[in-house]
Structure 1
Amino acid sequence: MSLSPFLKSFARRLCERGIRPMLAGVLLLPAAAQAASFRYWDDPTASVITLTRAQFVEQVRQHHGEARLVFVNRVVNNAARQQFEAVDTWKGFDRLVKDGFGDCEDFAIAKYQILIDAGTPSDRLDLLAAKDTMTPTYHAVLRYREDDGSHLILDNLTPMMLPEARRTDLEPLVAFDRQQARYFHDGAFHPVDPTRIELGGQRLSERMPHLMDY
């Protein structure tokens, strides 16, 4: 299964330089205080739902397996809009829904935070920075590692969660979580010193410890 022509066109219009390696001079702004509530468009009920973060996390806990991933992907995607930002400020869930917009890495970080808050093991999750071959530019998504070692991709540009092997539009660059980073080379991921990787003008080693704090 591959992305439809519609989704390819949609991604080409919307995915604008979410993660830009090797750009210097970016100011990292402090995260906003936790939002009291947020709204998202609920596709199944065709209505707008208002929740607090705590209520959202509790609802996520009630889902299990792939259903949990689908739910978080859908809610976060529908709680804000993709928008290019001249200053590459990384946002977590609270800042993303408060602003109502963000780059692709903001959506990935928001999903990462909510899933961990709801009890998903952190070693199942990481962020992937990749080259989007359709644009071409850079894109960020959240990955979930399944029992067999393969990954599902949670992408802010589509509600579909495809296996990474089927996302031929993405050329992996680096995957990382709070503890480690891996660089893609010769068809496989290899451990890399995060001080050697720069995303959005800041060393990855400085960003990784704060993935739950943005």
Structure 2
Amino acid sequence: MQTRFGMAGLAKFHTWNLLIENNKDKTTAEKIKAVNDYFNKNTRFVDDIIQWKTSDYWATPLETLGAGVGDCEDYTIAKYFTLVRLDVPVENLRLIYVKAQIGGNSSKVFQAHMVLGYYEQPNSVPLILDSLVSDIDSADRRTDLHPVFSFNSDGLWVGNQVQPQIDPTARLSRWRDVLERMKQEGF
């Protein structure tokens, strides 16, 4: 961290470790809130083309922490892996690719977006952790989000149907790439 992001990056890495240490014995609801708040308050939205000089780059949690910036995928990935480090089971978490309706219920403007879903049970309505909205709400209250597909380290879902024969790393090259770079960073 220090070599790549300097002392400021190292300091952010230490605050992230404190977040994990201070929340490891908390309830799942407290962990979810702490992680969502941490990244929403400590990460500034910057488009990939500006930050990474490419149109769609999925940053590792360390890259997001070190740079202090990211787009929706970066927030989602960082929250996902932080919750996994806090022992929230992978099967309860999914990165959800959505079409976000911009401008209210009557708007015809949609934008690609990614959020993190926490599923208390496999078929329950998830809680949504979003980089654009600080409050954590259930998906049925987020009428501005229209899910397309979701995935985690274990599977890929289209609608609510798991595609168990489909390895998400086989279908999602950016997911495969970010996981490989995380291994190189020591995850």
Which TM-score tier does this pair reach, normalised by the shorter chain? 0.7 to 0.9
Which position in structure 1 is the counterpart of 2:117? Answer: 143
Matched, 1:55 2:29: no
Which position in structure 2 is the counterpart of 1:157? Answer: 132
Which position in structure 2 is the counterpart of 1:76? Answer: 39
3-state SS in 1 of match to 2:34: helix
Which position in structure 2 is the counterpart of 1:95? Answer: 63
Residue number among 83, 94, 99 corresponding to 1:131 in the alignment: 99
Structural mapping, 1:3-42, within 5 Å:
35-38=9-12
The unaligned stretches of length 5 or more in structure 2 are 103-108
Q: CA deviation at 1:209?
A: 4.9
Counterparts in 2 of 1:166 and 1:100: CA distance versus 1, 3 Å: same
The unaligned stretches of length 5 or more in structure 1 are 1-31, 40-50
Partner letter of residue 59 of structure 2?
A: K
Residue number among 17, 20, 27 corresponding to 1:64 in the alignment: 27
Using the alignment, how far apart are the partners of 2:135 and 2:77 within structure 1?
A: 18
The root-mean-square deviation of aligned C-alpha atoms, in Å, is: 2.7
Using the alignment, how far apart are the partners of 2:181 and 2:115 within structure 1?
A: 14
Alignment check: 8 A CA contact 1:60 1:115 kept: no
Alignment check: 8 A CA contact 1:128 1:140 kept: yes
CA deviations on 1:89-122 (whole Å, 9 max, x unpaired) are 2112211121121110100000111111111111
Higher relative contact order (CA 8 A, sep 6+): 1
TM-score by length of 2: 0.76
Residue number among 41, 48, 72 corresponding to 1:85 in the alignment: 48
Q: CA deviation at 1:160?
A: 0.7
| Runs of 4+ displaced beyond 6 Å | none
TM-score by length of 1: 0.67
Between Structure 1 and Structure 2, how many residues are aligned? 165
Partner letter of residue 140 of structure 2?
A: A
Structural mapping, 1:113-132, within 5 Å:
113-132=81-100
3-state SS in 1 of match to 2:137: coil
Q: Which has the higher helix share?
A: 2
Using the alignment, how far apart are the partners of 1:139 and 1:126 within structure 2?
A: 14
Partner letter of residue 58 of structure 2?
A: W
Q: CA deviation at 1:70?
A: 0.8
Alignment check: 8 A CA contact 1:197 1:203 kept: no
Partner letter of residue 162 of structure 1?
A: D
Counterparts in 2 of 1:195 and 1:61: CA distance versus 1, 3 Å: closer
Using the alignment, how far apart are the partners of 2:181 and 2:36 within structure 1?
A: 17
Using the alignment, how far apart are the partners of 2:5 and 2:81 within structure 1?
A: 15
Alignment check: 8 A CA contact 2:60 2:78 kept: yes
Alignment check: 8 A CA contact 2:64 2:78 kept: yes
Partner letter of residue 29 of structure 2?
A: E
